[in-house]
Amino acid sequence: MLSSGTKIWEIPEFRNRTKVFRDREHAGMILADMMSDYKDENALILGIPAGGIPVAAVLSRELSLELDVAVVSKVTLPWNTEAGYGAVSWEGTVRLNQDLISSIGLSKDEIHKGIGKTRGKVERRVKLFRGDKNWPNLGEKTVILVDDGIASGFTILVAVMALKNMDVGELVVAVPTASPDSLNRLSAEVEAIYCPNIRSGWIFAVADAYQEWWDVDEGEVLRIMEDYFNLH
């Protein structure tokens, strides 16, 4: 395992390869092996729903660390629910892609409605996945923020901003796959990034890193979190 920069750790033989992980479980195992120094430390694993939770659960299990969720959701276009122009966090942080908004000509009313809808989704998911559980004192912990991959990096940056607003101590990002540009933007905001599969190219899709890929639904996230909280 070598560093591709001062803070970004990768597996060199995985560079620019596709289909390197069987599934999210396998990706989590590889990350856990890279991050073995964190085992049994005073650290908290925060998974981003939905796809990041299966990866985060493996890290929690293998490193014997507490697991929780960091709910962040894209603010999507009125005519395309797959494309986002911003994101909202559980803590209330909102960030918008002003360049994209200008280029597509969204009105202030459309933006206001989009943020409101997304905030409602985030609040519902927080209640669903965390219940009334209080947040620990993050200033006393290393927080490891986990997703199943980073494309543009916009959503995870909002999660990072939210954690900084909560006075987090050391902040680390762990993702199985990402583009170099997204990692370089993120590296200025966190202490370290662990990403075994870094891929360059004109088109980047998180799913291309996996042999088996499916959209994780809320039911799967809920089962993982219920199993975890019942066991702890």
Measured distance CA(193)–CA(107) in Å, rounded: 37
Strand, coil or helix: 99: helix
* Tens digits of residue pLDDT in 181-225: 999 989 989 999 999 999 998 888 999 999 999 999 999 999 999
Q: Which long-range contacts (C-beta less than 8 Å, at least 24 apart) are formed by 167-172?
A: 167/138, 167/139, 168/138, 168/139, 168/141, 168/143, 169/138, 169/139, 169/140, 169/141, 169/142, 169/143, 170/141, 170/142, 170/143, 171/142, 171/143, 171/145, 172/38, 172/142, 172/143, 172/144, 172/145
Under the banding of pLDDT at 50, 70 and 90, the label for residue 40 is very high
Cβ neighbors of 209 (< 8 A, separation 6 or more) are: 18, 19, 20, 21, 27, 149, 176, 177, 197, 199
Under the banding of pLDDT at 50, 70 and 90, the label for residue 179 is very high
Looking at residue 4, its pLDDT comes to 46
pTM, two decimals, is 0.92
Measured distance CA(194)–CA(172) in Å, rounded: 8
* Tens digits of residue pLDDT in 8-37: 999 999 999 999 999 999 999 999 999 999
Looking at residue 3, its pLDDT comes to 45
Query: What percent of the chain has pLDDT above 90?
Result: 69
* Tens digits of residue pLDDT in 105-163: 888 898 999 999 999 999 999 999 998 888 888 888 899 999 999 988 888 999 999 99
Strand, coil or helix: 172: strand
DSSP state of 151: S
Domains (ranges, CATH) in the chain?
2-72+136-231 (3.40.50.2020), 74-128 (3.30.1310)
**Position 226 pLDDT exceeds 80:** yes
